[in-house]
Amino acid sequence: MDSRLIYVVAVARAGSFTAAAEAVGVTQSAITKSVADLERQIGYSIFYRTSRGSFLTAEGRDFIDRAARLLEDAGDLLRKPRDQEDVYAGTLRIGVGPASIEWRLIEPLSLLLQRHPSIKFDILGSTFERTVEMLRNGGIDVALGFDAAFSEWSDIRREPISGVQSIHFVRRGHPILERETITSSDLAEFDFVSPSDGRPYGAVIRKIYEDEGIEWRRRVHIIDYFPLARRIVARSNAIGVVAAPYATLPSFQARFAILDKAAGLPPSLMCCAIRKRWEPKPAVRAFIKAVRETQAAALEPHTGSGVVQA
């Protein structure tokens, strides 16, 4: 197998030449030279090189998809026969986007580990955009996220699971609580803290400001880490987004109030996402099954870190 394929896939999965070199165990200069040589041979750039990392070009995405599949097929070919192998052994790479919904993995992964102790987990929480990129280039085996966000990608298959309703919340004593009704115009008077600028909530929050002729980028904090979002809401007049189950906790209600007079947010249907062209390995199918079986338990509030934002 051409080592250049190993190196270029490592860069796509790691997001940078430096991280890829560390993952593969060679020097960065070797990775850089190898990828540059490969790009000269095929006649196009696989990556955009920026100060923030390396990102796939449109042609590069297709190349990485095929290269990653070749490497995986080669690995399967060299493994011992299936009748001697634990098909669940190895690392299951799970992407979560946005990272604030990682709490939904608690029950499924516990159940999965009970059933298949040989599985090892590699959980990668990131933005939705980064999660999609990793799924499409083979950096992760399966993704957990909002169904609406994955729907625009024709090469991704979604396995729907139940979602959770999210609602607006503010600090106790917030001036908006004094109003008899709360309209979209009322909401536009204040800043928002949103877990993402994408679907399903980003578009709803942007429209609140756009309808009032306000540039939304000047009014919206994009914060995926719920403890930080909660702190900002507690110390300002910003409006936040929280999962309804978490909002029922006494510890939450002591400091915050729900805007039940305001128009609600759309239901947040969740899904497990996989690549259409690749047959999911047994561990992926077992993971999806565990998620579905534990989805009722996943809707219960967790009192640990409080990262129950949807």
Tell me the per-residue pLDDT of 114-132, one tens digit each, with 9 for 90 and over: 999 999 998 988 878 788 8
Domain shared by 227 and 278, yes or no: no
Domain shared by 252 and 171, yes or no: yes
Which CATH number do you get for residue 137? 3.40.190.10
Asked if pLDDT for residue 67 goes beyond 50, the answer is yes
Domain's final residue, options 27, 48, 78: 78
Asked if pLDDT for residue 237 goes beyond 70, the answer is yes
Number of domains in the chain: 3
126, part of any domain = yes
Asked if pLDDT for residue 240 goes beyond 70, the answer is yes
233, part of any domain = yes
Average pLDDT for residues 103-121, to the nearest whole number? 92
The structure tokens 């007079």 sit at 261
Tell me the per-residue pLDDT of 165-220, one tens digit each, with 9 for 90 and over: 888 999 999 999 999 899 999 999 999 998 777 667 788 899 999 999 999 999 99
Tell me the per-residue pLDDT of 129-150, one tens digit each, with 9 for 90 and over: 788 888 887 778 999 988 887 8
Which CATH number do you get for residue 31? 1.10.10.10
Which residue segment(s) compose the domain that 229 sits in? 166-258
Domain shared by 176 and 234, yes or no: yes
Domain shared by 217 and 293, yes or no: no
Domain shared by 146 and 278, yes or no: yes
219, part of any domain = yes
Average pLDDT for residues 261-271, to the nearest whole number? 80
Domain shared by 254 and 171, yes or no: yes
263, part of any domain = no
5, part of any domain = yes
pLDDT at 236: 97
pTM of the model: 0.66
